[in-house]
Structure 1
């Protein structure tokens, strides 16, 4: 009887271990990258059909609040994150936070994005800094700090977290926020829960590498995580520089249990590429 009890206990223990494994990571597709086989508004429904419970996206340029909100509601899916309105991307605009003389544009873009986020139920906004022509000067630094301080107060009042994300120079040359020390320094200086770090594995590997030690040093500031293989920005199981089995383990060890954004470009078709989730031992 005692040995049978031990066997049963062992089975329960293994089952609990498996349950912990398959439920540890919570994945949400970025609709600006995944399901691009269909127009943007249809991607909410496609994400739901694929089994996702939550999505994130860039700013839905060209669509009204009503259109996007209706598409999300009709799909019966939640949205956790939205990128700030970037301006005219055809002119190279990618946010205004670090651009001297564009303070009004920044504040207007923040107000607009908050309105969209609240309609969508999103509680996180990626605040983009913009690209700098020429050398970065103290004026850019001062403008960025002033704008982020302003944003911190507005976001806090609306129960939304603003995220600062360092972006690598290969993907976006001349982007102001291209350094983890720069982001962390400002987050510490502002010292408000409404300003956090967006920890994107794709970008950190190309900015500085050393993912494990960097994670250990910044984990208390992380407000969101995103992933993609390096350097081609495809699924985690494609050929590249990063071992995502290890990445998911160290994220778990660091205590991160929030959503992990899938901000990658499917190598082929989106749903076909999602096979990696089950192969890695997880489920939606």
Structure 2
């Protein structure tokens, strides 16, 4: 079974209207897409569009807050519990309708709230999310987002994400591991994968520094692919990078990645 190569169409093909990005992703060889807020496309229309282009939907976010105000999630924000749960419920319904296996309840930036209060609110909201998805095809996906990207984010390290997962179990909560955020925190993703493959539900690819496409920075992506293959990772590999030029130009690496993956799958 091959991994799905998933285009984050919030970052890629951003010069196109949202629906046109789906066709563009298929056109350069991606086999899946993802977007935190795809709701402007009704779920039936999204499902039909995915089917037309032979794509699947990898993950979306729930309870994100008001993006126009720069909010990055509500799950850890005291006083926003009702808004979080309403947004999360909407995302779950959408995910079920389009066949996405994961919803990501973003933690957010709690500001001056006390750490203990933030912890309690986040734990209660994740408990709600686990209960809400317990009889569905959806699992939770949580991500450590580094301080370099979102200062003050409530869950900036993989260690913290692991602690949350240990409370609720890998059967309920999977980790989204982002190569850029890991490297920003001094972690080599390939080494972390070897020790923690059972925790991972989704991978995000972006080089470091710069957060551009593979080959523009210091990350050893060959080693990451080898580690994933050696440990039978069959989830999606998502590409959430800032294109250094046009998206089409920056996806030239895809054919080589697919060839490497096929080679690794041959006994």
Aligned-partner Cα distance in 2 for 1:268–1:110: 34
1:145/1:208 Cα in 2 relative to 1: closer, same or farther (>3 Å)? farther
Tell me the equivalent position of 2:132. 154
Structure 2: tracts of 5 or more residues without a match: 263-267
Q: 1:220 aligns with which of 175, 198, 220?
A: 198
Q: Where does residue 18 of structure 1 map in the other structure?
A: none
- The CA distance in 2 between the partners of 1:170 and 1:61, in whole Å, is 28
Q: 1:68-122: per-residue Cα shift (whole Å, max 9, x none)?
A: 4454344442212112241211222211110111111111011110111122111
Distance 1:65 1:166, change over 3 A: same
Q: Alpha carbons of 1:62 and 1:85: their partners in 2 closer, same or farther (altered >3 Å)?
A: farther
Check 1:136–1:268 CA distance in 2 against 1; reply closer, same or farther (3 A cut). farther
1:118 to 96, 120, 123: 96
Pairwise CA RMSD of aligned residues? 2.1
Q: 1:153 to 1:27 in 2, by over 3 A?
A: same
**Contact 2:105/2:140 (8 A) holds in 1:** yes
Out of 259, 273, 278, the residue aligned to residue 236 of structure 2 is 259
4+ residue runs over 6 A deviation = none
| Equivalent residues, number | 261
Correspondence list, 1:64-75, <5 A: 64-75=42-53
Q: Which TM-score applies when normalising by structure 1?
A: 0.84
Larger Rg, first or second structure (1 or 2): 1
Given the alignment, which residue of 224, 227, 244 partners 1:250? Answer: 227
SS at structure 2 position matched to 1:274: helix
Moved more, 76-85 or 124-133: 76-85
Residue 270 (structure 1) aligned with residue 247 (structure 2): yes
1:83 aligns with 2:61: yes
Q: CA deviation at 1:63?
A: 4.3
Q: What secondary structure does 2:134 align onto?
A: helix
Q: How big is each residue's C-alpha offset from its partner over 1:28-60, in whole Å with a ceiling of 9 and x where there is no partner?
A: 111111122311111111112223222111212
Aligned to 1:172: 150
C-alpha distance in structure 2 between counterparts of 1:138 and 1:170, whole Å: 23
Of the structure 1 ranges 62-71 and 169-178, higher mean CA displacement relative to structure 2 is found in: 62-71
Farther off after superposition, 51-60 or 141-150 = 51-60
Return the TM-score normalized by structure 2.
Answer: 0.89
Question: Structure 1 residues 73, 213: closer, same or farther in 2, change over 3 A?
Answer: closer
